[in-house]
């Protein structure tokens, strides 16, 4: 290796070696009236080794064997793949390899929807960083909630390795916690038809016994959607959970948010829908402050869970630590980890027909850059003038 090449790799924060892939889609016909689904058939090309590097200010890039950047903004390119666009997903994997190490000798079969779920979580993580930096409550709520409420997905490789999306401790609680506070011998509940809950946002809060019983037995109440399973488990947690403070704050936030604003009907990537009409104006300062705290905590938990396998090694030749990474997914999260919140941000190009970087990395102090490139800025300007004329 020449000195120049050595310097390129040494000056980067980390490098990751992988292989480009061969990737095909296999249609799955479930039922005549159902849309066709796709499995990805994919193997790693031994003849096509690739190297990624993290370059400060540029993010994760594809670097050549001779050093230097071959292709930039890998994370932005992944984020730009539209939900369900299997062909773009295939193009990405053929160029940059699969998100986990895979077989070089046989086809792996992986449900494309499960792969999209991994991408949704990366998207939610990047958007959450943006929401926290801009103190934008809506973005924080939608993406924190997505990371907590979406179901865990998994697939198994030929060698038996199972890879699954991260499941937060809170997710496990709202999926299965069913132990309600026993109030049968509670004097306060007997005397006043109310009992006290130690709420970490509002202090001592009171809960109505008849309402609690209705939630518990799944009877309809004045709250639309209160028979929803997640909400029912949340009521059980709110009445009874003692333990981790961070989890308690999550429970209190979601209980108060849903009883004030509306009960979640469906949480999908980038969107929350409610049972009945939502009342977003019911959010007060205390709840907004709690949202900021939980957003930061959930963001940290998500990134930490995804870089858990990264470990440092000391390189004797370069006399510096070198990070060892196991997968492209880890490299992507590790590049998010190195982004400096408040310094760098991924921004979505505002040109609706952008075909380039769509998500691009900029300094967070730059507030006027709306487009990834001059062509997109011109395109958007033309579109606006056409709309004016019409
Ligand atoms: Zn653009």
Model confidence pLDDT, tens digit, residues 218-275: 999 999 999 999 999 999 999 999 999 999 999 999 999 999 999 999 999 999 999 9
pLDDT > 90? residue 367: no
Q: Over pLDDT 70: what percentage of the chain?
A: 95
Residues 199 and 273 in one domain: yes
How far does residue 75's CA lie from ligand 1's centre (Å)?
15
Distance from residue 83's CA to the centre of ligand 1 (Å): 18
Whole-number Å distance, alpha carbon 333 to ligand 1 midpoint, is 23
Residue 359 Cα, ligand 1 centroid: separation in angstroms? 8
Q: Would you say residue 309 lies in a domain?
A: yes
202 backbone dihedrals φ, ψ, rounded to 5°: -105, 5
Of 319 and 94, the structure prediction assigns the larger pLDDT to: 94
Distance (angstroms) between ligand 1 centre and the Cα of 347 equals 10
Tell me if 181 is assigned to some domain.
yes
Total structural domains within the chain: 2
For residue 177, the model assigns a pLDDT of 93
Does a structural domain hold residue 390? no
Distance in Å, CA 118 to ligand 1 centroid: 24
Q: Does residue 362 fall inside a structural domain?
A: yes
Q: How far is the centre of ligand 1, averaged over its atoms, from the C-alpha of 373 (Å)?
A: 6
**159 and 218 inside one domain:** no
Alpha carbon of 382 to ligand 1 centroid (Å): 14
Could you tell me if 108 and 25 lie in one domain?
yes
Output 348 or 46, whichever has higher pLDDT: 46
**Looking at 292, 323, 350, which one is the last position of a domain?**
292
CB atoms within 10 A of CB 74: 23
What is the DSSP track for 23-90? Answer: EEEEEE---TTSPPEEEEEEEEEEEEEEEEEEETTTEEEEE-TTSSEEE--HHHHHHTSPTT-HHHHH
Task: Assess whether pLDDT exceeds 60 at residue 1.
Answer: no
Note whether 346 and 206 are same-domain residues: no
Please name the residue that has the structure tokens 């510096």.
Answer: 320
Confidence band for 4, pLDDT divided at 50, 70 and 90: low
Q: Which residues surround ligand 1, an ion (CB under 5 A)?
A: 349, 351, 354, 356, 372, 376
Residue 300 inside a domain? The answer is no
CA of 170 from ligand 1 middle (Å) equals 37
Percent of the chain at pLDDT exceeding 90:
68
Q: What CA–CA distance (Å, rounded) separates 156 from 163?
A: 6
3-class secondary-structure state, position 154: strand
What is the pLDDT averaged over residues 354-370? 77
Q: Name the residue among 109, 95, 91 with its Cα closest to residue 45.
A: 95
User: Distance from the CA of 356 to the center of ligand 1, in angstroms?
Assistant: 5
Burial class (CB in 10 A: 0-12, 13-18, 19+), 27: exposed
Q: Is residue 297 part of a domain?
A: no
- Give dist(CA 208, CA 190) in Å, integer: 11
Residues 153 and 242 in one domain: no
CA of 361 relative to ligand 1 center, distance in Å = 12
pLDDT over 90 at 64, yes or no? no
Q: Is the pLDDT of residue 154 over 80?
A: yes
Dist CA 218 CA 211 (whole Å)? 10
242 C-beta neighbours (distance < 10 Å), count: 6
Instruction: Give the whole-angstrom CA distance, residue 18 versus residue 53.
Output: 11
In a domain? residue 251: yes
Q: What's the pLDDT tens digit per position in 196-229?
A: 999 999 999 999 999 999 999 999 999 999 999 9
Q: Are 40 and 23 in contact (CB under 8 A)?
A: yes
**b/e for 352-384, b at 16 or more Cβ within 10 A?**
eebebbbbbbeebeeeeeebbeeebbebbeeee
Distance 76 CA to ligand 1 centre (A): 11
Confidence at 352, pLDDT banded by 50, 70, 90: confident
Q: Cα of 375 to ligand 1 centre, how many Å?
A: 7
Q: How far is CA 181 from the centre of its chain?
A: 33
Please tell me whether residues 150 and 65 are part of one structural domain: yes
- Confidence class for position 317, pLDDT limits 50, 70, 90: confident
**Of 232, 257, 292, which closes a domain?**
292
Indicate whether 156 and 74 sit together in one domain: yes
Task: Kindly give the distance from the C-alpha atom of residue 72 to the centroid of ligand 1, in angstroms, as a whole number.
Answer: 15
As a whole number, mean pLDDT of residues 143-167 equals 97
Distance 376 CA to ligand 1 centre (A): 5
Q: Is the pLDDT of residue 390 over 90?
A: no
> Is 137 found in the same domain as 213?
no
Average pLDDT, integer, range 58-73: 84
Note the pLDDT of residue 8.
61
- Ligand 1 centroid distance, CA of 346 (Å): 13
Same domain, 157 and 176: no
CA of 370 to the centre of ligand 1 (A): 9
Q: pLDDT tens-digit profile of 18-29?
A: 999 999 999 999
The two three-digit tokens of residue 75, written as one number:
């994370």
Residue range of the domain that includes 269: 170-292
Q: What is the pLDDT of residue 342?
A: 63
pLDDT score for 10: 58
- According to the model, what pLDDT value does residue 42 have? 98
For residue 203, the SS3 value is: strand
Region of poorest pLDDT, from 61-75, 216-230, 253-267, 284-298? 61-75
For residue 108, give every residue at least 6 positions away whose Cβ sits within 8 Å of its Cβ, in sequence order, or none: 40, 41, 42, 43, 98, 102, 157, 158
Tokens of residue 211, six digits: 């309402």
């Amino acid at each position: 290796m020449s000195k120049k090449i050595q310097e390129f790799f040494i000056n980067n924060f980390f490098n990751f070696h992988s292989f480009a892939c061969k990737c095909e889609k296999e249609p799955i016909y479930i039922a005549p009236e159902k849309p066709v689904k796709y499995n990805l058939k994919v193997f790693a090309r031994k003849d096509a080794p690739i190297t990624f590097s993290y370059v400060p200010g540029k993010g994760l890039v594809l670097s050549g064997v001779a050093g230097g950047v071959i292709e930039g903004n890998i994370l932005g390119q992944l984020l730009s793949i539209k939900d369900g666009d299997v062909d773009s997903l295939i193009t990405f994997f053929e160029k940059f390899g699969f998100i986990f190490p895979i077989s070089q000798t046989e086809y792996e079969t992986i449900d494309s929807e499960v792969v999209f779920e991994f991408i949704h979580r990366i998207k939610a993580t990047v958007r959450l960083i943006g929401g926290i930096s801009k103190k934008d409550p809506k973005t924080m709520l939608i993406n924190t909630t997505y990371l907590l409420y979406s179901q865990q997905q998994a697939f198994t490789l030929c060698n038996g390795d199972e890879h699954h999306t991260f499941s937060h401790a809170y997710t496990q609680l709202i999926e299965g916690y069913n132990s309600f506070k026993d109030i049968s011998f509670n004097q306060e509940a007997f005397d006043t038809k109310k009992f006290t809950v130690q709420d970490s946002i509002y202090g001592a809060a009171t809960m109505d016994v008849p309402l609690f019983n209705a939630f518990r037995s799944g009877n309809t109440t004045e709250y639309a959607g209160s028979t929803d399973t997640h909400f029912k488990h949340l009521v059980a947690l709110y009445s009874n959970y003692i333990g981790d403070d961070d989890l308690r704050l999550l429970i209190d936030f979601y209980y108060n948010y849903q009883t004030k604003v509306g009960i979640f009907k469906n949480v999908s990537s980038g969107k929350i829908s409610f049972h009945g009409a939502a009342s977003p104006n019911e959010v007060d300062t205390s709840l907004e402050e709690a949202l900021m705290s939980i957003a930061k905590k959930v963001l940290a938990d998500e990134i930490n869970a995804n870089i858990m396998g990264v470990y440092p090694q000391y390189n004797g030749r370069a006399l510096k630590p070198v990070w060892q990474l196991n997968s492209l997914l880890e490299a992507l999260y590790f590049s998010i980890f190195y982004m400096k919140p408040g310094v760098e941000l991924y921004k979505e190009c505002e040109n609706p027909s952008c075909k380039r970087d769509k998500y691009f990395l900029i300094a967070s102090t730059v507030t006027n850059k709306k487009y990834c490139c001059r062509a997109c800025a011109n395109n958007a300007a033309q579109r606006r003038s056409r709309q004016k004329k019409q």
